[in-house]
Amino acid sequence: MPNSLLSQAIKEAYAACPVDVVRLDTLEFRHPDFIDENGNPTAIRVVLDNRDWTAKLEADAPLDAGQYVTFVKMFFDIQLAPIEKGANPEIVISMDNVSKLISDNLELASESPHTIEVTYRPFLSNDVDESGRLNGPHMNPPIHLNVNSVTADVYKVTARCGYGDFANMPFPSEDYTLERFPGLG
């Protein structure tokens, strides 16, 4: 089934399967309590590769829009949501051997009422500028999820992510009141 969110370059890479082009899967975790050493909002950014990559984010990214940021090498696994009737789609992300920075930030977030947001972006290893930085993601818009729960042990952190609780969302989501829409009265 065609995916209209993917760029033409990544569609060609999937079709041709060139051995010198690698899809670089990245994850970005955001939370109000994730701050850098200067007190500015930051994100945890990881790439499924054996090296760190500097990559340009999309112009409307939630954090550091249009800027070059570093994705740190890390092994992670993404299990897609099962296809079941009536099930709330949930994706499971597992990360092995997480750093102290990641575990400390996740612990901070667990004590907060705010949810952790996750963005998935695929890049292509051959789409680089003259400095070797990745030019931009090859999915527009990238996939944005909310972390529903996190479990951690000595070896692994597992996050269950979803799009929200659609079953309990009001419909329509907009309130039609006489103050906002006087023509209804």
SS3 track for 88-101: CCEEEEEEECCCHH
The confidence band for 1, taking pLDDT boundaries of 50, 70 and 90, is very low
Is the pLDDT at 33 greater than 70? The verdict is: yes
Average pLDDT over residues 58-85: 89
Which residue is it, tokens 């992300």? Answer: 93
Q: What is the pLDDT of residue 86?
A: 64
pTM for this entry: 0.79
Q: CA-CA distance, 139 to 137, in Å (whole number)?
A: 6
pLDDT in tens, 161-179: 987 655 555 666 677 778 8
Q: 88-102, 121-135, 141-155, 162-176: lowest mean pLDDT where?
A: 162-176
* The pair of three-digit structure tokens given for residue 53, joined into one six-digit string: 């990559």
For residue 38, what pLDDT band results from cuts at 50, 70 and 90?
A: confident
Q: Which residue in the block uniquely carries the two structure tokens 């299990």?
A: 79
- CA angle 60–62–67, rounded 5-degree value: 65
Cα 53 to Cα 45, 102, 110, 125, distances in angstroms: 10, 18, 28, 9
Q: Residue 172, preceding bond cis, omega within 30 degrees? A: yes
- 167 phi and psi angles, rounded to 5 deg: -65, -30
| Angle 81-82-88 from CA coordinates, rounded to 5° | 70
Distance, CA of 117 to CA of 145 (rounded, Å): 6
Instruction: Point out the least confidently predicted range of 1-15, 29-43, 95-109, 152-166.
Output: 1-15
Rounded average pLDDT over 22-50: 91
Most confident of 79-83, 126-130, 153-157: 126-130
